[in-house]
Structure 1
Amino acid sequence: MEIRHRLPASAGMRAARDLLLRCRLWLTARLWAPRAARRRRRLRRTVPGLRRVAFGPQRLYGRTVAAYTAAEAVEADLAQVCDLLEAAGVPYFLVPSEHGHGAPRQVIGVADTHRRTVLAQAARTLAGTAAYVGAVGADGSVSNAVLWADGKLPRALGRAAVLRIGEVRLGPAGQVLSGLESGCDIEFWRQGRDLGAEPGHLTVPGDKLADVYATALVAPRRNPVSEVVPEAAQKPATVAVHARPVPTFAAFAEPGIDEVLFPVDAVYTWVDGNDPAMAAKRRAHQERADNDIAARETGDSRYTSHDELKYALRSLEMYAGFVRHVYLVTDAQVPEWLDPEAEGITVVDHRDILPADALPVFNSHAIESRLHHIPGISDHYLYFNDDVFINRPVQAEHFFHGNGIARIPFSPLKLGVGAPHPLEPAPNSAGKNTREVIKRFHGRQITNKSLHTPHPQLLSVMREMEQLEIGELQRTAYSRFRSTSDVAPASTLHHHWALATGRAVPAEYLFRYVQLGSPDMRQRLARLAAGEDVDFFCLNDVDTPAAARAAAQQAIGAFLQRKYPFPSRFERRGKGTASRPRGGSARRRIREKAPVQPVD
């Protein structure tokens, strides 16, 4: 009573309602929690491979999977949502989603009038699975996530404008492969007449809704095309996502202006320095060479194989499903685990792209100068060192704009001034030589290095520089070992030439560098294993002391096996193991109109 006397009547009533609501929620939780616990125990008995996982305060189950790629997970999550909507007879449409950064995710639009039907069908269909549902906030975060198997949903999910439905997928050691960032979103679209003058939505002068707006579908959040679809624009069409035809509207079926529609290949360079024959050949030429660079740049660590390539290819398959074809450039070597006949990969020998009188070569700069001679390579491709890994899903738009312009990973680190010096890092010397080339041809000064990430490459740039017969580039092609006279053709030179000629722009690449054998190596690996927020990382073996190599190799071997636990389609299969089918493009458009039930 004292509280009521101190507060206005309206405030007292609000406080009473809030107290009543909290009591009701507390009572519901007390009654519902034991039932949910029983349902989860039953789920663990019926669905093998479940493990408890936590995302902050949200407790779920993840399902242990036998194989995983981000593209296949997106396809499965989409199929799950489409199947339940079709089973319920609920019309739906594909909503355009952003291309570029972040996990690829499909979005389905449904009229808000079907909300109860959708939730009821999902509860029936997914009750015996490990599928979760959560509310997607304005910032993209997922809250109130629960399992459909729990039974009753929290009230916040019943009212959420956007729901995410998916599965948490785990690797064999319980590592999270896809969490709440993946899944398929369901947006509940409302009609204009139901919105009135709600803040954030379209209104017309005089607070009177135009007829065109009254019958329009209005999105609960932004998308790349339009948040309002008038009735006249609700013309049905179909797009194919992977192999599944999915209904949408004609305006949503067209490719976006910045969507990459051209093919993108990947090129890896690799050498097995542990091969005795290769090591002997390298030492024989090294004894006759007049090396003018620090010993660390041509030492054994530069050629030591830690099986990085195997895991680099696994990371590519897991997280970059857009890549059309992979080319592996080697010196008459093939990794013992590699299946050279596997679909989607071609082994290219140095003899196929380098002049005969430049062989043998032990210099990555020389090899990079001729990658554009690979037969059949696409006009846009990515160049990887074998110690560069993809850490999470990326799309082609991460590397290129839809008009073909490359997005370049410049480093904040500087090349320095003055002449090249034998004791400085090789990228600095190569960058200084590149600076002279760019200054001579374009009258501009360059200052920055490039990151140790995938390098977007333009065939037109490499061919143009070769046709100009640039002396520094020609010398680099014949530089058997690293030298202070080299340029870095696929990174500093290509990137700055492309930038100077309007064919590239700087871009942000989230990246982590790990130097093998360094004091903080294990700490950096632990952060990556815990899901550090980066797109790429590099495990670089610069000059690891001989005494530290075994421990470093053991640490990175364990890390990489946990990070990328499943063989890629490029690896040889054991007896009785089926080869993994190669996935298709994420989205193929079917241009003809389709008889899709309109959304009411």
Structure 2
Amino acid sequence: MTGEGRSPRAAVRHAVGRVLPAPVRKRVREGLDGARAAKRRRALLAADPGLRAAEGPHGAVIGRIAEDFTAAGAAEANLRLVVAAAEAAGLEYFLVPGHSPVRHVVGLRKADKKAFLESMRERYGDGDVYAARFSGERCTARGMYAEGALPTAVKNAQTIRFARIGLGPQGQVLAGLDYGCDVEFWRDGEEFAAQPDFDRKLDRVRVRIPAAMFAGAWVGPRPNRVADVLPAEARVPAHREVGGREYPTFEPFTRKLADDVDFPVDAVYMWVDGDDPAWAAERARYLGGDAAEHAHLGGASRYTSRDELKYSLRSLHAFAPFIRHVYIVTAGQTPDWLDTGHDGVTVVDHAEIFADPSALPVFSSHAIATQLHHIEGLSDHYLVLNDDLFFGQPSQAERFFHANGIAQLPFSPLQIGLGAVRPEDSAPNSAGKNVRALLEPDFGRFITRKFKHIPHPQLRPVLYELEKRYADAVDATSRSRFRDPRDIEFAAMLHHHYAMLTGRAVPGRSKLHYVDIYDPAAPERLAGILAARDGEFFCLNEVEPVPEREAEVRAMVRGFLEAYFPFPSPYERS
């Protein structure tokens, strides 16, 4: 101890307060606080071998190595840690219907905020739970309980996010602050209406009512999907189930909303094992001397397998729990890692869906796509995917369909070009031009745009309608053993434009990372995607394969996918 019985740290603070200007004092004190927090972080890591330091989308963090990961599971775990603290303090809480597709929101009365934060400190004060303040998607302040006192900006926030960080086997961040549980502190209506700047604050409330009607109501700190003002008569106790457990809420917060999608949505993959010797021999036999003719329409690289399907299914399991059933359409092949006994997946042979089996075998995705809607038991709304497509973030059915069944189309800024089909046109361009030639006479509309490489929403009744209306073009494409300049693109170009022109689809929005895996910049791009995890979808495509680089590219792709999706899905064999 020094001086007046102070510790060395306290003596430094005392000296700082006496001799330094205020701005300098602030910086020095922040430095001391930072040193103390760093020391506590080191102690926490040393005491618990299950914890590691990592770099996440919102900065450096300490997280725990996970044994499994789904977005829903991570969000539910953070909900439980918040609820445990509220229940330990004997506080009434309620679930609020937030806007996030995965994150849970808990409401507490503002009067209970102090007791709740004390309970959180008591339960998690020496641990790895984070508390953070967000403005939209941007983290503006955060702190970990083990570091000491939470930042004032966090404690003063009207909404605080709490989370444990989940790490993968390599120490990569899988579940960061974006999967935390938001706690909203709701004010009494009388207090809200009595504010001097009530008129200004009222502009931020979605439910506009006279000041007198706030009596007895609770007012939320931000909008939600139902109402941010809860009158006393609306606070009828109810429950909502999350992960098999019921949590308290209020009856209006349990209603099925007008924009909720409640119809089943399936997923359909077209897959081929290009390494299968029997399949490759059959393809070569039918291709014969026409290899050069078909090269520009898609060569052997289209069939190269790097186990992308396995990781795409992992992405589905992690981020798209709304999918009811998965269908994998193949030419009599089955991935050796696939658990065909799982009741959530079905392997479908081409022979089961082709209207005329004599058209088989076919080696063109254009042909196969014309028959997918024939799958027995397929939902009327479904997604069609290639195995090089991956979900990168939590998703929901509302991203692809509106509640009234209308599809949301992933338009691309890329265009198919003008003029008639030319021999040198790429397959997407020639197939798009052929679709344009079908639709323009019927609708007087000139289509120009392509679609992004993301899961494509499909309306099964529309596809049956197209099969009849444009029977000759559909039948001819179904019989194209290999891609042909006369093909139509059925599942995207024709389905999407026709659905929009007949009032059953509208433009949607999506964030896609598209990576040409043979591009020299691909390693850097993949590293950025892995670090940020900010894309709803990503596509790992190959524009111009370089055979001598295949081993290098295969290792790069497998390494990236294993880091992004390190845990097996239920669709894989044990």
Both structures adopt the same fold (TM-score exceeding 0.5) = yes
Query: Structure 1 residues 31, 387: CA separation in 2 closer, same or farther (over 3 Å shift)?
Result: closer
Task: Tell me if the contact between 2:328 and 2:348 (Cα under 8 Å) persists in the aligned partners.
Answer: yes
Are positions 1:337 and 2:337 aligned together? yes
For normalisation by structure 1, the TM-score amounts to 0.86
CA deviation vs aligned residue, 1:127-171 (integer Å, no higher than 9, x gap): 24321111223x342232111222322222221100000112111
Aligned-partner residue type, residue 213 of structure 2: V
What are the within-5 Å matches in structure 2 for residues 90-109 of structure 1? 90-98=91-99, 104-109=102-107
Aligned to 1:516: 517
CA deviation vs aligned residue, 1:548-570 (integer Å, no higher than 9, x gap): 22222122122111121111111
Are positions 1:111 and 2:109 aligned together? yes
Are positions 1:435 and 2:432 aligned together? no
CA deviation vs aligned residue, 1:289-344 (integer Å, no higher than 9, x gap): x6895413242111111111111111111111211111111111111111111231
Q: Percent identity?
A: 45
Give the Cα separation in 2 of the matches to 1:548 and 1:20. 62
Task: Tell me if the contact between 1:434 and 1:488 (Cα under 8 Å) persists in the aligned partners.
Answer: yes
**Structure 1 stretch displaced more, 509-518 or 52-61:** 52-61
Aligned-partner residue type, residue 152 of structure 1: A
Aligned to 1:404: 405
What are the within-5 Å matches in structure 2 for residues 67-78 of structure 1? 67-78=68-79
Q: CA deviation at 1:201?
A: 2.9
**Structure 1 stretch displaced more, 560-569 or 423-432:** 560-569
CA deviation vs aligned residue, 1:464-486 (integer Å, no higher than 9, x gap): 11232532111111111100111
What are the within-5 Å matches in structure 2 for residues 455-466 of structure 1? 455-466=456-467
Aligned-partner residue type, residue 321 of structure 1: P
Give the Cα separation in 1 of the matches to 2:435 and 2:79. 47
Give the Cα separation in 1 of the matches to 2:211 and 2:180. 36
Give the Cα separation in 2 of the matches to 1:274 and 1:486. 26
Give the Cα separation in 1 of the matches to 2:78 and 2:265. 25
Which secondary structure state, in structure 2, belongs to the residue aligned with residue 493 of structure 1? helix
Task: Tell me if the contact between 1:301 and 1:542 (Cα under 8 Å) persists in the aligned partners.
Answer: no
Which secondary structure state, in structure 2, belongs to the residue aligned with residue 530 of structure 1? helix
Q: CA deviation at 1:407?
A: 0.8
Give the Cα separation in 2 of the matches to 1:147 and 1:260. 37
Aligned-partner residue type, residue 386 of structure 2: N
Question: What do you get for the CA RMSD once the two structures are aligned?
Answer: 2.5
Task: Tell me if the contact between 2:296 and 2:426 (Cα under 8 Å) persists in the aligned partners.
Answer: no
Aligned-partner residue type, residue 488 of structure 2: V
Give the Cα separation in 2 of the matches to 1:129 and 1:350. 54
Aligned to 1:567: 568
Aligned-partner residue type, residue 173 of structure 2: V
For normalisation by structure 2, the TM-score amounts to 0.90
Task: Tell me if the contact between 2:338 and 2:573 (Cα under 8 Å) persists in the aligned partners.
Answer: yes
Are positions 1:316 and 2:313 aligned together? no
Aligned-partner residue type, residue 139 of structure 2: V
**Structure 1 stretch displaced more, 260-269 or 298-307:** 298-307
Query: Structure 1 residues 324, 201: CA separation in 2 closer, same or farther (over 3 Å shift)?
Result: same
Q: CA deviation at 1:266?
A: 0.7
Task: Tell me if the contact between 1:293 and 1:484 (Cα under 8 Å) persists in the aligned partners.
Answer: no
CA deviation vs aligned residue, 1:164-216 (integer Å, no higher than 9, x gap): 00112111112111222220000001012212243543399xxx975431221
Aligned to 1:595: none
**Structure 1 stretch displaced more, 462-471 or 32-41:** 32-41
> Given the alignment, which residue of 132, 135, 141 partners 1:134?
132
Query: Structure 1 residues 291, 434: CA separation in 2 closer, same or farther (over 3 Å shift)?
Result: farther
Are positions 1:245 and 2:242 aligned together? no
Task: Tell me if the contact between 1:134 and 1:144 (Cα under 8 Å) persists in the aligned partners.
Answer: yes
Query: Structure 1 residues 39, 21: CA separation in 2 closer, same or farther (over 3 Å shift)?
Result: same
> Given the alignment, which residue of 161, 169, 190 partners 1:164?
161
Aligned to 2:489: 488
Are positions 1:153 and 2:155 aligned together? no
Aligned-partner residue type, residue 319 of structure 1: F
Q: CA deviation at 1:46?
A: 4.2
Give the Cα separation in 1 of the matches to 2:59 and 2:480. 57
Give the Cα separation in 2 of the matches to 1:559 and 1:437. 41
Q: CA deviation at 1:442?
A: 2.5
Give the Cα separation in 2 of the matches to 1:333 and 1:55. 39
> Given the alignment, which residue of 169, 193, 196 partners 2:190?
193
Which secondary structure state, in structure 2, belongs to the residue aligned with residue 201 of structure 1? helix
What are the within-5 Å matches in structure 2 for residues 15-414 of structure 1? 29=30, 32-33=33-34, 36-54=37-55, 59-98=60-99, 104-137=102-135, 139-195=136-192, 196-197=194-195, 198-199=197-198, 200-202=200-202, 210-287=211-288, 294-354=294-354, 355-414=356-415
Aligned-partner residue type, residue 429 of structure 1: S
Task: Tell me if the contact between 2:296 and 2:424 (Cα under 8 Å) persists in the aligned partners.
Answer: no
Which secondary structure state, in structure 1, belongs to the residue aligned with residue 532 of structure 2? coil
Task: Tell me if the contact between 2:393 and 2:533 (Cα under 8 Å) persists in the aligned partners.
Answer: no
Give the Cα separation in 2 of the matches to 1:56 and 1:340. 37
Query: Structure 1 residues 60, 529: CA separation in 2 closer, same or farther (over 3 Å shift)?
Result: closer
Q: CA deviation at 1:42?
A: 4.0
**Structure 1 stretch displaced more, 181-190 or 463-472:** 463-472
CA deviation vs aligned residue, 1:555-588 (integer Å, no higher than 9, x gap): 2122111121111111111xxxxxxxxxxxxxxx
Q: CA deviation at 1:413?
A: 0.8
Query: Structure 1 residues 558, 452: CA separation in 2 closer, same or farther (over 3 Å shift)?
Result: same
Which secondary structure state, in structure 2, belongs to the residue aligned with residue 445 of structure 1? coil
Query: Structure 1 residues 352, 131: CA separation in 2 closer, same or farther (over 3 Å shift)?
Result: same
**What is the number of residues matched between the two proteins?**
548
Task: Tell me if the contact between 1:292 and 1:422 (Cα under 8 Å) persists in the aligned partners.
Answer: no
Query: Structure 1 residues 133, 402: CA separation in 2 closer, same or farther (over 3 Å shift)?
Result: same
CA deviation vs aligned residue, 1:255-278 (integer Å, no higher than 9, x gap): 221111111111111101111111
Task: Tell me if the contact between 2:131 and 2:143 (Cα under 8 Å) persists in the aligned partners.
Answer: yes
